[in-house]
Amino acid sequence: MIRVLLVDDHAVVRQGLRAYLSLHADIDVCAEAGSAEHSAKLAKELSPDVALVDLVMPGVNGIEATRMIRGVSPHTRVVILTSSSDDEQVRPALEAGAISYQLKEISGAELVDTVRRSARGEAVLNPKIAAGLVRTLRASERTELSSLSIREREVLMLIAEGLTNQSISERLGIGEATVKTHVGNMLAKLDLADRTQAAVWAWRHGLLGKSEN
């Protein structure tokens, strides 16, 4: 049985969701909340498997509601269910802890499938949302890479090859202290914690083997 918490400030919406979801024997709508604060209280008390959360609510919105629910009930999988396909809302919602993001225009069958898959720990994104998120992430990554100087890119690629600061200094013909400065600047610009993360970032973005013109 998948226990579901409904979070929406419109009672009619909650009633419609409850009526449809209750038609399925493996889904139990265990509670409803009309606000983020109430949803967190119920999540703490009931620890539902899935919370269907509306993005736009008066006062505390669905993103903050997601953080609050996950904070008191880490087991609960949060599904954002909204009419908003704004790319700027999707990423913050996922970063707040939502596992899935669906538009209210989806069919009933798609909604039930999303609830079941989310309960299993699978991430489900509406195709429109997924396409927009990929575009946003790619644009962000291009901006991050363009923030690096040519020398910082060279240092990044050599770190990915496994070279130490001393080896990089010898390869590029610059002082080791200068290499350390470039490494620090590069990590800060890419918001990375250490050289290992820098190497992974370079591999993921296909920088190995590339040369600067």
For helices 165-172 and 176-190, give the axis angle rounded to 10 degrees.
Answer: 110
Which of 118, 137, 156 is the last residue in one of the domains? 137
Which of 80, 105, 137 is the last residue in one of the domains? 137
Cα–Cα separations (whole angstroms), residue 21 to 53, 83, 169: 15, 19, 63
Same domain (yes/no): 80, 164: no
165 Cβ contact list (under 8 Å, min separation 6) = 176, 179, 180, 183
Same domain (yes/no): 49, 68: yes
User: Residues 26-66: pLDDT tens digits?
Assistant: 999 999 999 999 999 999 999 999 999 999 898 899 999 99
Q: What is the number of structural domains in the chain? A: 2
Report yes or no on 26 lying in a domain: yes
* Domain CATH code at residue 153: 1.10.10.10
51 Cβ contact list (under 8 Å, min separation 6) = 4, 5, 6, 7, 39, 43, 69, 76, 77, 78, 79
Question: Rounded to two decimals, what is the model's pTM?
Answer: 0.64
User: Residues 151-184: pLDDT tens digits?
Assistant: 998 899 899 888 899 999 999 999 999 999 999 9
Same domain (yes/no): 131, 53: yes
| 78 CA to centre of own chain | 12
Range of the domain at 156: 147-204
Report yes or no on 142 lying in a domain: no
